[in-house]
Amino acid sequence: MSEKVYPNITVVDEHDNVLGYMQLFDAIAAGRIRRAASVYIFNEDGEVLLQRRSAAVLEPGLLDYASGGHVDEGETYEEAARRELREELHISEGMPELVMPPIRTRYFFLAIYKLTINKNYPITPNKDEVSELLWMKFEDFAYEIEHNPHKFASAMVDGWPQVRDKINV
């Protein structure tokens, strides 16, 4: 069986200027700042959708944005957000709305998007990346990420202080 080949990801400087493209693990090992895009998904009841990361990805078992990932070579932040929605949740309908321009976190320039869907929308998670999906009241999520950050993926925890007052349900 052949190993999965990943596209190069975008690496940037401290001002989000593109420096080039690298394989993911090479970029991590070199301590490079990477571009990433993440999507919060909400429903009409004011709940936020979270994914539990699968055992096959970085930070397995932690709760994370509904979808998100690195910006691949040649992609924009928005294209990456849409691709991740398709790859991780098989959602191709709807246009994610930019919540805020890319913010600098510990490892990334991170663009955060929002998508509102019907709670009964059929979501089929990619089991290679997502082990579980759960809806959580936004207030409960906000409490948990602030008081129990160890339960969440580092990118989500890092971005939360900058986005918490800008994301509206």
Distance set, CA 98 to CA 37, 69, 81, 103, 168 (Å): 10, 15, 10, 12, 12
| Domain containing residue 47: CATH number | 3.90.79.10
Position 49 in a domain: yes
Give the domain range for residue 64: 9-158
Total domains, the chain: 1
Position 81 in a domain: yes
pTM of model > 0.85:
yes
Position 3 in a domain: no
DSSP bridge partners of 33: 12
Q: Name the H helices within the chain.
A: 24-29, 77-84, 138-147, 154-163
Distance set, CA 61 to CA 51, 72, 102, 133 (Å): 9, 24, 26, 12
- Residue 80 burial (C-beta neighbours within 10 Å; 0-12, 13-18, 19+): buried
Position 167 in a domain: no
Position 168 in a domain: no
pLDDT (tens digit per residue) in 101-152: 999 999 999 999 999 998 888 899 999 999 999 999 999 999 999 999 999 9
* % pLDDT > 90, the chain: 84
Position 20 in a domain: yes
pLDDT (tens digit per residue) in 93-103: 888 999 989 99
Cβ(119)–Cβ(43) below 8 Å: yes
Q: How confident is the model at residue 3 (pLDDT cuts 50, 70, 90)?
A: low
Comparing C-alpha atoms, which of 119, 47, 116, 107 is closest to residue 85? 116
